[in-house]
Copies of this chain bind each other. A is one copy, B any other.
């Protein structure tokens, strides 16, 4: 994919010879604004990117955590994972980059038809709007905005902070052990082969309470790990005042209040992340 031109990213724009008003085309998928054209729906497409991940998992009180898990799920373990990702060389952003912090719990979806084990993201903060929009509107991934520092790397110390309009609400610090090798590394590689998410796509009614769309969506993804290290991780939440973050302070408050009974694991990993976007499906 060495060449890069109009066709690479936008093959489906309006033909320049048409002289009519805008009409949706068949076999095409659109994002708002739709009237500038869309993309052919192509099942061979995968989103790809380089990732440096810093993930910390802790045990919490089951009842406290279940308050944020919809009834359609079963909580597989009273555990929360907080995973920072520094993403670069993103193919669908033409080589651009962004960072995210994913706060998730392990669940089983128990539908009438589907029974699936997956991570359920409670919230994902990202520092770039474009992937927030695709994540929310295409697959119901609950992404919202925050400023997220690139990792500060003072080997073997790593740190980052997450803030909103100048107000820090989460700091992460990690002290790495030497890189994994041999069997340990192979095991880590296997663990990251499956990073599927379930998003809850919820689009509100207009002019009334309730939803026009409410769906659980399985979104397949995985990481091809190249390097990995365990280490000592520390997480610091800071609750914000209403006026500091009126749209998110209740989320931060809820997460900060989850008791940390035990840090289970902290690890860094580096590799390639693949999102199988077109294989996402609505669960029933």
A interface with B by C-beta (< 8 Å): 1-2, 4-6, 8-10, 13-14, 18-24, 26-37, 40-41, 63, 66-71, 73, 88-89, 91-97, 121-123, 128-130, 132-133, 136-140, 142-145, 147-163, 165-168, 171, 173, 200-215, 217, 238, 241-244, 246-247, 249-251, 254, 278-282
Query: Assuming A152-B97, A207-B280, is B136 touching A133 (CB within 8 A)?
Result: yes
Also in contact, A206 and B281, with CB within 8 A (given A91-B154, A165-B149): yes
Query: A206 to B244, Cβ gap below 8 A?
Result: no
Is the CB–CB distance between A148 and B133 below 8 Å? no
Q: How far is the CA of A251 from the CA of B32 in the complex (A)?
A: 11
Q: When the two chains form their complex, are residues B97 and A242 in contact, meaning their CB atoms are under 8 A apart? A: no
Given contacts A23-B71, A94-B242, A129-B144, contact A29 B210 (CB under 8 A): yes
- 6 extra interchain contacts, Cβ-Cβ under 8 A, other than A94-B154, A161-B166, A163-B163? A6-B250, A10-B246, A10-B250, A137-B203, A203-B213, A212-B213
CA distance A203 to B113 in the complex (A): 24
Task: Specify the chain B residue showing the minimal Cβ separation from A123.
Answer: B33
A8, A123, A165: residue with the most chain B Cβ atoms closer than 10 Å: A165
- In the complex, the answer to whether A167 meets B157 with C-beta atoms within 8 Å is no
Q: Is the CB of A206 within 8 A of B138?
A: yes
Contact residue among B4, B14, B150, B279 (Cβ-Cβ distance under 8 Å from A243): B4
> What 5 A-B pairs come out closest when comparing CB atoms?
A95-B154, A33-B142, A129-B145, A41-B209, A94-B246
Q: How far is the CB of A39 from chain B (nearest CB, A)?
A: 9
Least CB distance from A282 to B in Å reads 5
| Contact flag A250-B68 (CB < 8 Å), given A94-B242, A129-B144, A166-B148 | no
A69 with B22: CB separation less than 8 A: yes
Contacts of A129 in B (CB 8 A): 129, 132, 144-145
17 contacts between A and B (CB under 8 A): A21-B71, A22-B69, A23-B70, A26-B210, A29-B205, A31-B202, A31-B204, A32-B142, A33-B122, A36-B123, A88-B153, A95-B159, A129-B145, A137-B137, A162-B166, A203-B203, A207-B279
